[in-house]
Structure 1
């Protein structure tokens, strides 16, 4: 377990020095998500010096921790109390931190049924681009005062400020968990998922790997066992979902460019060159393809979705329309007027 360490003053000093000398900062924790986004040229600001769980009361279903705290430590503390992070944020490497998980905004297999990282952020503490250490939101589930800047930090990739502390809503672990593998083709799998989504079946993860549909059932013992009898298939080890979340499946063992495609969950199999894996019950597709990025973006956008490149590339994130780009630039100028926080990490113009 990490040693608790409050390094607020150190982080503030580094940010104010960067502001006074116009030095861009490359904000990172363990750097486990470095593969995602554009490279940043700047002085490294490492949040791992600022770690430790600030408060946790299992009866309140809220945990607050400093940004450099590892996800592993947080998950172990929650596990001991029979609780969990419902969005299953992926680690993608050793020592992944809470700040990095929120900044990247990535969620695991349970996402369509529980919500995203953003949905569970209750409050944050942030060092702004004016050198101030401010608190946004709170530690209660009902918090509607003002603009929700805390959740805006989720998925911002450190471009808007330095996260120093996060308060998250947590949930009890399900009483029963069981995973199944059902042999069927992709069309049947998507059809069945669409039908089951309208019925009281306790599905909390669904993935089609090109050969079979994998399901996770979670909830009360009665409902899980009744659904297991109805659906059939063979039981599999539930570590399947951790391996999927962390990209440890054989599908991901390849040097071919990897794309994450976010689509309406009833979208038919995509007519794109390459190999696909379906996750999130159809709402997330992983694509290994050497096709041009412009083609992939166009096809996915026409279907009402967007594509993100999970490999090195000049433009990994979905292209922005001019109105959206202006919003991004205005937001950046308000929170980081000198543009020192992870400049260009998401878009060259921001």
Structure 2
């Protein structure tokens, strides 16, 4: 992959801070780098705590999408997406779900630090009640349970008809043990792997060890559309394409991954622009009738100026870009061509 020079990349980059509608993953705002590529706008937005080697995957994805003329792109059609429900009180569910027009699937966050299983049960029950018996519900624990805790929690939550439980435990070995114990206990909840794929040195280990029924793939952490497609095809499992609380630019990148997959796929976790109070495009990719379009987004350059991050955050991100670019240029990042 041909890398742009670092000075050119920095000249094309805008660092913005996007406020959230509700607290999510412990933050009230999302910092992202929006890049005006030669082919398309792209996004570089690894979470702040990620190290440079991991973040370099995200930069490779941004460069592939923004600068690679040979990348196949889809402009017609739509992608079904799920509603994403943060770990909110039941009283807040109506307001959250109202932002996800027509979604037939909802992902509910559970195992939030400082909350209890009773909180999770009440939240999932509330979503089921509001969306009805035909809706598909999935939960996401972000690796927050031990195997024993997951067994207890999924026994309590299974009655709500879960499509799957996403990353209930932290490690691949735990996911494999959990799947076996769920089967032995007669608890019919499929297991999906997210962090065990996107943060793993070997993203195919979960499939090889039989540790998941579904793979959850995110375009940026996996290094781009092509690599993510290869991982899904090699895993041989149904897939869910998801986002990492991206702007609509990053969501559009994820939608292209969803369109590129030939494997069976679940409704995508690409409705999260609805969690942003402000966005960087003219028409944010919020779900309408449960779907988002594949047509390219139009960046609002006035919004890039209005939402520009403070000077010290600009410099922090630009230094991060320099370091990640150097890893890609030197071939020392864990990113196959």
TM-score, length of structure 1 as denominator length: 0.26
For the pair shown, the structure with the greater C-alpha radius of gyration is 1
TM-score, length of structure 2 as denominator length: 0.27
